[in-house]
A = this chain, B = another copy of it.
C-alpha cells in the first residue's frame, strides 16, 4: 500500500438484510497510470423478481433492445476510467455471470482491468449464503484487500444513470471524508419507496443521520454526533446507495466495530455516523432510476423510444454504453410502419406496425401484427434453420401473424401465436396468471420468458 493511498467506498443503501447483492468498486488513490482498480457487487432484486427476475437477477434484465441493465453501471465505471470491477452475486446469478464474463472479458478494460464475478460460496469457516450487503463485502475482503488501493466504491447493480465517479472521488478526497454517500438532489423523499435510505444533511453536506424511509426507530447517537445537531440547517434527501469509503475505515467497520452487521446502510453507515466518522453526501442532479418495479422498468424503456431523450441516453457518443459485442445480420424489414420506437439488432419485421415500442434483438414479427407501447425483449437465438421454418414444431419464436400487443412486456424467447390479442382485455391492474405464461402489474401485461401463447388467444 502506498502511504498516500486513501480508501473510499460507497454502498447500497436501503436494502433489506436478506438482499446482499451490491456493486463494489475499489479505487486507488495513487495509481500512477490514472487507472483505478474497482470492485463491483451486484444487486439481486426483490420487487422486480417476479416475473422478470424469475430466472435472472435484476442486473441481467434486457433493456433498450440491445442491453442488460448491469451494462449501465459497468459502462459508468469504464467511462470513469475505473477498470477493476468485482461483481458479488448470489441470487439467480447464472445469466448475470454469463453476461458479465462474455461481455467484458479481456478487451476494453486496459492491461490490468477486469470485470470479475465473485459468486457466493461456501468455505470451511462459513457454510452459509451472504447474509446481507455488509456480510457479502466482509466475506470478500480477503480478495479485495489484495489491491493496494486507498478507497472502495460500492455501487448497486440495478440503477439506470450516468455518473462520472471521478467527481465523487475528487470531492471525497478534497474534503478528507471517511465515507461519501451519493444522494439524489432531484428526487424528493416523498417519491421514495419504503425501505430506501434517507440522509439528513447539514449545510456543508455532512451526513447527520441515516434513516430508512419506513423507519420509525430513533438512532442512538454519541454525544459528539449530537453536538453537531446544533446546526439546524439540514435537509432530508434520498440516498442513491452509492458509497465511497476509505480502505481502513471499511476494514475497521466490518471487522472491528460491527462484525455482526449484515446490512450496509442501516447497520454499518449508521454505526459509522454514531462513531463520529466523517460521513458526507455528494449531491447528484441528473437522471437516475431505480429499477424496483415493473412500472419503473417499463418507463425507462419508454424513455428510450423518444427522439428527444430526457432520460437515460443509450446513444451518447461521449459516454457510450458497453455490452456484449455481437455480429448479427442487419434487420430485415419487408413492410413496416414504425413510429417512435427502437429496433434492436438482427430483427425480422414483416408487414407490421410498431408504435412507441422497444423491439429487442432477433425479434421476428409476422404479417399484420400491431405492436404498441410495448417492450419486446427478443430472442437469444434464431430459430429458423436451413431456411425451413415449416419444420418447427409448435408455435415458432416471435410474434405471430395478425397479433396485437398493447402495453406489454414480452420477455425473451416468447412464442406468441397468430391472431393473438395481448391487450389486457379485462383491464386488470394486478394479476398473476403465471401458469398461463403471464402476469399483470400496474396494468402492464408481462409475458414470462419462453412463454407460449396459442393462436387466437385473447389476454
> A residues bordering B, Cβ < 8 Å?
32-35, 44, 49-50, 54-55, 64-66, 78-79, 81, 83, 89-94, 97-98, 101-102, 105-111, 113-114, 116-124, 127, 129, 140, 142-143, 146, 304-305, 307, 313-318, 320-346, 348-350, 354, 358-359, 380-382, 384-387
Contacts and interface: CB of A to CB of B under 8 A. Distances in A.
11 contacts: A34-B81, A44-B122, A65-B330, A94-B119, A98-B116, A105-B106, A117-B119, A304-B330, A331-B331, A331-B343, A332-B341
A325 to B, nearest CB: 3
A120 B117 contact: no
A385 B32 CA distance: 13
Contact of A327 (B123, B127, B322, B385): B322
Given A65-B330, A117-B117, A335-B340, 7 more contacts: A50-B124, A92-B122, A92-B123, A94-B118, A119-B119, A318-B386, A330-B359
Given A78-B111, A122-B90, A327 B330 contact: no
Nearest to A117: B97
Contact of A119 (B89, B336, B380): B89
Contacts of A320: 327
A381 to B, nearest CB: 7
- Of A317, A333, A380, the most chain B CB neighbours within 10 A belong to A333
Given A89-B121, A109-B111, A66 B327 contact: yes
| Most B Cβ at <10 Å: residue of A64, A102, A330, A381 | A330
Contacts of A114: 102
Contact of A307 (B83, B90, B350, B381): B350
A4 B315 CA distance: 25
A120 B387 CA distance: 39
A96 to B, nearest CB: 9
Contacts of A124: 49-50, 54, 92
A117 B97 CA distance: 8
A79 B33 contact: yes
Those 4 A-B pairs whose CB atoms lie nearest each other, nearest first:
A119-B119, A325-B325, A105-B105, A65-B330
